[in-house]
């Protein structure tokens, strides 16, 4: 179950990166500081949310506050009782660190001290875990 869930979450991460790029994070506007850029990106993304990422994942919302960009994701077809949270973290965290720390799109945010937070909920939108990737995680990974 954890492997299937990881594959689904890896897929949503890729799609979220694409959404960020399409909704403005890939665009440089010298007059826009990092806070304004991320607030505006979140606002633009949220206009189209919730949105099915695939048959098992629903991107519910995004938010930016206090140097942290957050994705709120519902894992459909799973209840909180189906998830081994320790195994989920053990498997997902290194992969998220790798994906975020090697993504060109995230580099400008990580380099400015922005953390990326994922809040996962089950099919009933009951949160079961949160993972935060900090810029220091990328320094340790390199």
Q: What is the DSSP secondary structure assignment for residue 32, as one 8-state letter?
A: S
Map out the domains of the chain as residue ranges. 2-141
DSSP 13-30: HHHHHHHHIIIIITS--T
Cβ-count burial 46-68 (b if 16+ within 10 Å, e if not): beeeeeebeebbbbbebbbeeee
Q: What is the mean pLDDT of the chain?
A: 82
- Separation CA 5–CA 99 (nearest Å): 16
Q: Which of 13-22, 83-92, 106-115, 122-131 has the lowest mean pLDDT?
A: 13-22
pLDDT digits (tens, 9 = 90+) for 70-115: 999 998 888 899 889 999 899 889 989 999 999 887 888 899 999 9
Q: What is the CATH number of domain 2-141?
A: 3.30.300.250
CA atoms within 13 A on the CB side of 71: 26
Q: pTM above 0.75?
A: yes
């Amino acid at each position: 179950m954890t492997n299937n869930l990881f594959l689904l979450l890896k897929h949503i991460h890729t799609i979220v990166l694409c959404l960020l790029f399409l909704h403005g994070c890939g665009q440089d506007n010298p007059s826009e500081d990092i806070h304004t850029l991320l607030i505006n990106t979140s606002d633009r993304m949220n206009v189209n949310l919730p949105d099915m990422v695939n048959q098992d994942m629903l991107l519910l919302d995004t938010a930016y506050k206090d140097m942290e960009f957050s994705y709120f994701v519902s894992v459909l077809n799973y209840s909180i009782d189906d998830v081994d949270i320790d195994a989920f973290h053990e498997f997902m965290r290194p992969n998220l660190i790798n994906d975020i720390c090697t993504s060109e799109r995230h580099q400008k945010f990580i380099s400015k001290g922005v953390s990326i937070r994922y809040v996962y909920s089950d099919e009933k939108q009951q949160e079961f875990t949160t993972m935060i990737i900090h810029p220091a995680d990328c320094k340790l990974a390199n």
